[in-house]
Structure formats: structure tokens, C-alpha cells
Amino acid sequence: MDDVKTLISLDEETTDDDEPVVPKVAVKSSPPPTAVVDILIDDIPTPSTGVGVGNNNSGTLMPDKDDDDLPALLDHTPSYSGNSAVNGNLPPNDRDNAESEPIFRVRSRTAAASTPNYESLDYEVCENKLFQDEQKKRLTERFSLRKDIIRWIIFIQIGIITALIACSIDIIIEELSELKYMFLMTSVEKNVPQTDFTGGDLVVPFLYWILLSVVPVAFGAAMVTYIEPITAGSGIPQVKSYLNGVKIPRIVRIKTLAVKAIGVITSVVGGLAGGKEGPMIHAGAVVAAGISQGKSTTFVKDFRVFKAFRDDHEKRDFVLGGGAAGVSAAFGAPIGGMLFSLEEAASFWNQNLIWRTLVASIISVFTLNLVLSTYHGLNDFTFTGLFNLGKFDQPLKFDYFELPIFMLLGITGGLLGAAWNSLNTKINGFRKRYIPWKIGKVCEAVVVAMFGVTLACTMIYFINDCRPLGNDPTIHPVQLFCEDNEYNAVAALWFQTPEATVRSLFHDPPGSHKILTLTMFTIVYYVLSCATFGLNVSLGVFIPTALVGAAWGRLFAMVTYYLFPETEFLHPGKYALIGAAANLGGVLRMTISLSVILMETTGVETSFFFPLIIALISAKWVGDYFNEGIYDTQIEVNHVPILPWEPLPQYKGLKAREILSSPVVCIKLRDSAHYIYNVLKKCDHNGFPVVDDVQGVHRSQGRVCGIVLRSQLIVILLKSLYVENCRFWLPDTSIQTFRDVYPRYPSIESVRKLDDKIRYTVDLAMFMNPSPVRVNAHDSVPRIFQVFRALGLRHMLVINNENRIAGIITRRDFIYK
């Protein structure tokens, strides 16, 4: 593993595969006359006889009780014997003895011990001889043009399928929610009087509401908890980490998509404070990853198409397009979806990728518009997205003296967003510590659902807010405790999906709610959404955040109008939109993409872009003063080693030699299969420098000629690609040999012991990457960080002036040092 916190260097072979890893401490003695023994003298004041190593992830040395002052083994100066070989070639009579027992050298890393062992993705293209031969062959077949056309076809398919999944989720949620709230409305009318509090009972509708919320939430939470825990939450932090180059297990599997879709449906129908828009990004990413590979590892089915795209580099671009298509389908905003992916998710992009991502987004919006407009019986195809906020009847205008007010609202949104992020992080930390059991996580989701229903019923019961039926914002208004031709405005806020409530707050005419109603609703939903995000359910944070912002934005306009009734610029819908933007900016910390999404979703004029961006920027700046956005906070809490855009301040002024890891486990250009097998068995590293000009058996002192990946070595051993039998496999071996086993590469456990192939040799000349990124030990850390991040590297080799390996740098060296 490239990011483990303990490096173990193997300089020779072992004859016992089950021998425990024990570091050898140098002891001065006379070597036997029949063997060449390498003596290592480490910088240790006194010899130690009891140094052991814990597991490979501990990253610490554990000396004996009497050696508390034993320093870490940071420097290793080998002492070469007189019989040391040159270029790795030993005399025939000494070869076997020299490789009879390995010498392990351990170096402590300063990574946090509690950090999970995430792996990196191989975004760097391995341009080995097999890859170069394929490129030369394709030039004569005009494959480049055909590959570009296929890439466009895949992006179009991603847009279509993502939109169809979004339509299915939306239709099911709408139908089930309609049945739920119709049943509740009927139950209220049968059991509760309409004009007074006598002769009826609100307990029966309350119990029905509890039941209709608990059952779907419990079912969805159980699926997420027991079947696919990676589907919890919105999935945006996981997709962002994946696109940054961190391998998140099980993030883009078909089973993940199925559980995600069912989890979103059950959570929204259950009435939790969340929305279906955020998880659509994760769904689009799964669709993109599945289509682009032309096979399904879950169903063990290979369709034998799109084989040229079976690597991490190509899949990354498709996943980015899938995320953009998911955002576009959710909000009906193709430009906003593309900008969202670039601003919040992507770590690598180029001009062609932006263009293809935009096309996938447009196709997704068009497909969803076509299907949902047909479903709803609209002939003009105006159903633009899942999060349909509706168009404002009158153009939203503003006066320039309102700009300070918009800025004040942005500051308020930043403060509320920072407080929301901090409170949510503390709640999730409490969950992680005190609710570790699976059944406890399911029960917690049920309790939160019951808590939400209880708060809603309490508001409905105690707040008397009756409005004329002409201003009803819901399809089925409830006459609860109101006179004839009136409806209960409090029940109208709760007896519909959160998306419909946001739409009501944007478009309800003035006077549709009391100040007390919106005040209590804002407080209740603020707390409820904070407690909900982080449950083991599939839900997004976009809708509840926008709902809270729209509520306090409209409340601000109502209070101001109450204090200054002569004012004419206080359009409640306008301030609800500004409040939603400010609250979203305070929680998510996005600016450009959010403003474009809100403009495309509501259809406001481009002139209103200026107030939106003022509110968003103000909210972001204020919120950034206190903490990071909610997605970045979740990534940080989970210790995912993503690389920021700029190196951390403490790296300024450092050199590569100060952060590298050494000694490095190396493999000779022509090495024994038995040694490679033992290396893979004894350590978990994912990249091994290939060296030649080896002095004796000290591979870590050789000259660098390339790098080979763990997955490549395992395939070589599995398929017996040895020098001795090259006449059998050489004609049929190509780069496709390694692509066929992507992405679930076999482990070393699947390789049988090399009993009859101990003396076989592996020539890595055609398999290794001959042009790895190399830096000098004296190069500055900020410079090599920019190279590492821009190229999406997994390993960076550090060499000295003689091109000999000095160390290796992985992404953890930029984060946890």
C-alpha cells in the first residue's frame, strides 16, 4: 500500500513464507565462509535484542522495556562485504546463500495512528512498452478518432440513463407522498373538529403519521446499514474524494446504486429533513463508472466493449461527467451542473472534458424534461428538473440601496451556516462514539423521524394560523381547527415534501403566514435538519438548507414590512430566494455554481445574478472565518487524505528530503519470481521502483529505471509471465492482459506458492513504467506538491544526483507529516 505508515524494506528472499516480519539489528560478527552475509549497522547507541514490529499499519517501533530511550531507525548505512556483487550478479556458488534470508529495515512514519488506510487511485497513465506498442498500432487503424467518438457516445448514454433513474425516483416519491398525505388529510378530517377543540382527537392522525414515517425510514436505514453503508448521506464527499484520487471502497458499484435509490425514496417519503437532489450526484457517478467499463463485476458479465477505457484515468473523467449529469437532472440546470462538478467535485479537468461534461448535462436535462413532462401531461415540456421551484410571476427587480441588505443577509447566512456545520459535526462525533452498533443506527433514524413528526404536530396544535382558501399553497389544504373556507397554514408547511415547501415560500402571496409560524418553523427545521444529516440514511443537505434559508429570508421581509409598512420593495419571494442562497452559501461554501443553479431553477433574470452573488460571497467569506464547508468538514472528520489546491502552510520552505519515506522496497529490472512473491506477501505497498546497477543485494541503493505497480506484479505471477517460458506467452500478451482484470485486481493470496518456479526470473522491461515522475532530494516541497497534484500521481520517486533512489513520496507525505 502506498500510504501505509510503516515502510519495510526487503533486500533478500526468504525460504519460509510464513516467517514473521522481524527487523534485524546489526551485530558485528564474522560471516560464515560459505555465505555472503550483509551486515547493517544502524545508528543505535546500544545494541538491542528485542525490537519487534506490530502490524504493518502501526507506524511505531516497540522497543524492550529497558530500551525506552531507543531512537527511531531513521538512518541506515550499509556496510558492504568483500564479496558484494556488482549489478546484482553474484557468483554462482554464492547466489542462493546470499538470498537465503531477508533483512528488514523499519522506519517510523509520523502519520496519525488513527488514520484509516485509504489507498490512492492510479490516475497516472502507465506508459510502458505494452502501452506504447498499442498506441503505435492504433495510429495505423485510425483508432484515435474512433475512440473519441466512442467517448462521446458514452457521455450521451450517461446523461440519458442518469435522467431515467432520476425520473423513476421522482415519480415513485411523488406517488407515495401523495398517498401518504391524502391519507393523513382524510384522517384529520375524520378525527379532528374543524372549528373547535371538542368532539375530536388529534392522537389518531398523529399515530398514523408516526407509523407512515417510521416504517419507510426504518426500512431505508436498515438497507443502508446492513447492505451498503457507503450509501449513507448524500455521497458528494465520497465522490469528491474519489475524483481527488482516493480509492473509496464500493463507491461505484451497482448494488450501491440500488441501495442509494431505495434509500432516498424511503427517506423522503418518511418525511426526514432531507432531499433527493444530493444523492443524484452519487447515482450519476455510479452510472458513469458502470457504463464506461463495458462490464459488470457484480454480475460477472463482460460485454467486451469499451475495453480501452478500463483504467482509473479514463474512469475518473466519466465519473465527473456522471456527477454533472446527476446535478443537472436534480435541478434542471445543465450549466449549473457542470459548474457544480468543476467547483465542488473535480480536481482535474481540461477543455475537452468541460465540453463533454456540458453535453452530458444537457442530454440529462432534456431526457428528464421529456419524460416528466409526458408523465404530468404537459405539452410544452416545461418540467425542467426534480427540484422544480417554479417561475416567478413578475420579474424580480431590486434597487441599489438594497445591496447592503443583501450583504447583511449573506453575513447572517454565513453565521448560521458556520453554526450549523459546527453543531452537525459535534452531533456526528457523538454518533460515531456512542452509537457504534448497527441496530442502534437504525433505531436512531427511527427516533429522529418520530421526533420530527412530534415537533410538526406540536406546531400544528398550538399555533393558530388560518388563512383563506384562495391563498392555499398545497394541493390538498387541511381545514384543521379553522373555519369554513379556511385552511391551516402551519399544516400546509408540513403536509408536503420539502421541495414543495420551498416552492411555496418562494411563490406564496404576501400574508400567507404569520410571523410566529415562520419563526417557529425556521427554528424547528434548523435543528431537525442538523440532527438528520449524518444519519445512516440516503439523504442530501441541499433541500433542508435551502428550506431553512427561504423561511428566515421570507421572515425577514415580513418583520421589516411589519416595522415599516410604507416600504414597497419588500417582495417576500425575492427575500426568500436571497435567504436560501445565503444559507446555502453558509453551509456548502459554493458561489458560482449555486448562483447559476438558483437562476436556472427559478428562471430569474440575469440582472438578479448580482444580488445572488453578493449574498453567496458574503456568506462564504463569513463562514470560512469559522470553519469549512460541510462536505470538506465531513472529509476531514473521516481522515480522507485528499490533496488541497495549495500545500499546507507548514510545508513552506521544506525540501523533498525532509518529507520523503525511506528506505524504499525496490525490485531489480531482472529479478527472481520468488523474491517478488515474498515482497508482495510481506508488505502492502502498491508501487515499487525498478532499479539496476545494484551493489550486491542492496536493491534500495540501485539506479532508477522505472516503477511497477503491485497489481501488475500479481498479474505477472498469476499468468506466469517469466523469462524462461516467454515463447508461450509473449505473442499473446498486450496491455489488454492487465485491463481485463481491472478494477478488482486479484490479491497475492490468489497466487499459489512458487514451489516449482523458485528459480524463475521476471523481466520487468516491458511491464514497468519507464518514465516515472522523479524529483531531486533538494527540490522544494511546494513545487513538487504542484507537480504531484496536477498530474494526479500516486507515487513520486526522489533521487539523488546519480539517479539512485533516495526515497518515495505519496499523498500522505503532504498531509500527515
Task: Give the residue among 611, 673, 636, 743 at the shortest CA–CA distance from 294.
Answer: 743
Task: Give the residue among 514, 512, 620 at the shortest CA–CA distance from 559.
Answer: 514
Res. 389 pLDDT band, cuts 50 70 90: confident
Tell me the per-residue pLDDT of 424-456, one tens digit each, with 9 for 90 and over: 999 999 999 999 999 999 999 999 999 999 999
Enter the pTM of the model. Answer: 0.82
401-436+459-638: CATH topology: Clc chloride channel (1.10.3080)
663: preceding bond cis by omega (within 30 degrees): yes
Tell me the H-state helices in 666-756: 673-682, 710-718, 726-729, 736-739
How far apart, in whole angstroms, are the C-alpha atoms of residue 628 and residue 636?
A: 9
* Helix, strand, coil distribution of the chain in percent, nearest 5: 55, 10, 40
What's the pLDDT at 781?
Answer: 94
Q: Is the pLDDT of residue 498 over 60?
A: yes
Strand 76-79 vs strand 39-42: parallel, antiparallel, or unpaired? antiparallel
Residue 10, C-beta contacts closer than 8 angstroms, at least 6 positions apart: 102, 103, 104, 665, 675, 678, 679, 682, 683
Where in 204-328 does DSSP place strands (E)?
246-247, 295-296, 301-302
What one-character DSSP code corresponds to residue 753?
Answer: P
Q: What percent of the chain has pLDDT over 70?
A: 82
Stretch 290-315: mean pLDDT: 84
- Hey, how many other C-beta atoms are within 10 angstroms of the C-beta on 93? 9
What's the pLDDT at 10?
Answer: 38
Q: Is the pLDDT of residue 804 over 70?
A: yes
Considering only residues 633 and 61, tell me which one the structure prediction assigns the higher pLDDT.
633
Is the separation of the CB atoms in 287 and 165 below 8 Å?
A: yes
What's the pLDDT at 296?
Answer: 80
- The gap between the terminal CA atoms of the chain, to the nearest Å, is 17
Task: Give the residue among 316, 343, 338 at the shortest CA–CA distance from 328.
Answer: 338
How far apart, in whole angstroms, are the C-alpha atoms of residue 575 and residue 597?
A: 17
Mean pLDDT of the chain: 81
Residue 783, C-beta contacts closer than 8 angstroms, at least 6 positions apart: none
Stretch 314-328: mean pLDDT: 92
Quick check: helix, strand or coil at residue 611?
helix
**Sequence ranges of the domains in the chain:** 401-436+459-638, 649-814
Residue 80, C-beta contacts closer than 8 angstroms, at least 6 positions apart: 38, 695, 696, 698
Stretch 33-38: mean pLDDT: 32
Written as nine digits, the cell of 475 is 394541493
The 3-class SS string of 166-187 reads HHHHHHHHHHHHHHHHHHHHHH
What one-character DSSP code corresponds to residue 276?
Answer: S
- The letter for the amino acid at 225 is T
CB-based burial, 654-671: b 16+ in 10 Å, e otherwise: bebbebbbbbbbbbbbbb
Largest CA distance in the chain: 108
Q: What percent of the chain has pLDDT over 90?
A: 43
Task: Give the residue among 528, 532, 521 at the shortest CA–CA distance from 493.
Answer: 521
Res. 298 pLDDT band, cuts 50 70 90: confident
What one-character DSSP code corresponds to residue 345?
Answer: I
649-814, which class in CATH? alpha beta
Tell me the per-residue pLDDT of 393-427, one tens digit each, with 9 for 90 and over: 777 888 888 899 999 999 999 999 999 999 999 99
Is the separation of the CB atoms in 554 and 572 below 8 Å?
A: yes
- Hey, how many other C-beta atoms are within 10 angstroms of the C-beta on 433? 8
